[in-house]
Chains A and B, each alone.
Chain A
Amino acid sequence: MELLIAVTLLALAVFLGVELITKVPPTLHTPLMSGSNAISGITIVGALLAAGADHSTFTAVLGFVAVTMAMINVVGGFLVTHRMLHMFGPRRRRAAADQSETDGEDL
């Protein structure tokens, strides 16, 4: 890829990111953060290439550690975001989830 094309991609993607994120309401800032955090685990692509390249044991080990770290970031990030967002769900199983803290009153 030519350097100029790469830089163009970078600039356009930043503008797109700004447009997308400005619309997110404060209520969703934490899930947004953990969700975008999981996307930053995209570096796993490079980690896989390094771990599988069969260049030297040293680079393979670097790749292995990188795959592990990126995967923690990706799996953990998406899962925890899912857990959080689930709580924001519209009118979800209110009655069922109530037993613990409340003493039986309704909404």
Chain B
Amino acid sequence: MDDWAALGYLVAAVLFILGLKRLSRPRTAVRGNQYGAAGMLVAVLVTLTDNSIIGFEWIVGGLILGTVVGALLAVKVQMTAMPELVALFNGFGGGASVLVAAASYTQAVDLATDTSRLSSSAALASLIGAVTFTGSLVAFAKLREALHWSGFPGITILSGLGVVAAVVFAVLTVVDAENALWLWLLVAVGAVLGLLVVVPIGGADMPVVIALLNSLSGMAAVAAGFVLDNSLLIIAGSLVGASGLILTQIMCVAMNRTLLAVMFSPAPVGNGAEVDDIYAGKVRFTSPDDVAMLLESAERVAIVPGYGLAVAQAQHAVRDLTRRLQDRGVEVVFGIHPVAGRMPGHMNVLLAEAEVSYERLVEMDDINPTFEQTDVTIVIGANDVVNPVARTDPSSPIAGMPILDVDKSDVVVVIKRSLSPGFAGISNPLFAADNALMLFGDGRQAVVDITKSLQAF
């Protein structure tokens, strides 16, 4: 690589850094993303001038095909389907790193230029990339609800065996470098491992998995950077790896679970045995008209959205209700739990799509002290993140998980399809609380009905 190319890669790296920096504020974020894209363009153009590139037919074909497919997916996707699309893109990034490592390794083996550094980084890139690839595809299928399989007993033991096999093949890849077969076996084991680890994970743990896979795709790029001896891959990959790790940690803290617990012990499931005792005769039901009446006299209303909002595509209906209330002089805020939805920031994107101003979206720690001054809290499609058991019962599966203290507001209206438990599989005493009212039905329809009744006043 000559000096000009190295300089070009430095420009690209700086653009990535500036881009990520600008992504930290809504006002500058669009520009930040453009910086990132510009950095990528510079990187591609610089690479194309490399004189080891002789033929362009495969390159042009790949560039065109990838651009068309990527652009189509990006333009067509609905905002509610964002988590699975991010998972899919992530998988492709991981897959590309595997193939890059495999191609470099094959070349080096053929030309007998292989070094232990090259083969060990190739082994690492293939393994991480393969795990990312299949792991992301499984996450994609689960988020699309195309896959409901959550594994079989002993799947973690099999994963453990897979890790051992991966280590063995990785060592063989380095030691017995004449035989490219070991690398491919490593890729195969990595692919199976990605499958085994992600299959048992579901529902509310999804944000953690998506963040972790995001981090892994960055690390795969770093390893590919070591294979190619390329500083840009190392820098850009590290930035992504760090970003994914931080998000993973934020998500874990928000659920009061460790990463290992998310990955290797299936989600804690409570026994629904005492459900009847908790709910019997205590649950009070309400109607859209009654809720409208409550809202009519409220001064401050908090709305707490959960994954159910995304499923019901209720974000626009919620926006309309918000505006109606604001026109009446009611203060409306949104309480966003960090793990609400299926990926970090999922609710924020949906509400932004519906043009709810981001200044109204209040983080958990900031909104919790204000629930006592809130007249009506409307919970839409959220369950475990508002379950007071997390505060009160140390033996509960969700004990210690930070929750939104909606039960402290004067009245809580819970819009839900039924009394069925959330992802944690435990009953929610909130539903039977004295100040709670249940409104059964589809989230979107319920909100539309409330808005209509409100108009009648």
Which residues of A are in contact with B by a Cβ distance under 8 Å?
Answer: 1, 3, 6, 9-10, 13-18, 20-56, 58-90, 94, 97-98, 100-102, 105, 107
Contacts and interface: CB of A to CB of B under 8 A. Distances in A.
11 contacts: A17-B20, A34-B85, A36-B239, A38-B37, A39-B36, A42-B16, A46-B101, A55-B107, A63-B99, A67-B66, A73-B90
Nearest to B65: A68
Interface residues of B, number: 121
B226 A20 contact: no
A46 B223 CA distance: 11
Given A40-B93, A97-B355, A6 B234 contact: yes
Nearest to B349: A30
Contacts of B90: 37, 40, 73
Contacts of B139: none
Of listed B44, B320, B363, residue having the most chain A CB within 10 A: B44
Nearest to B223: A43
Given A31-B349, A52-B53, A75-B71, A84 B79 contact: yes
A34 B440 CA distance: 35
A72 B47 CA distance: 18
Contacts of B253: none
B327 A105 contact: yes
A51 B234 CA distance: 20
B240 A9 contact: no
Contact of A48 (B59, B117, B236): B59
Contacts, number: 392
Contacts of B235: 9, 13
B423 to A, nearest CB: 20
| Interface of chain A: mostly helix, strand, loop or mixed | helix
Interface of B: 16-17, 19-21, 23-27, 29-30, 32-34, 36-37, 39-40, 43-44, 47-48, 50, 52-56, 58-59, 61-63, 65-67, 69-71, 73-75, 77, 79, 82, 85-86, 89-90, 92-93, 95-97, 99-104, 106-107, 110-111, 117, 210-211, 214, 217-218, 220-222, 224-244, 246-247, 250, 316-317, 319-320, 323-324, 326-327, 336, 338, 343-346, 348-349, 352-355, 358, 361, 363
A87 to B, nearest CB: 4
A64 B62 contact: yes
A18 B246 contact: yes
Contacts of B93: 37, 40-41, 43, 69-70, 73
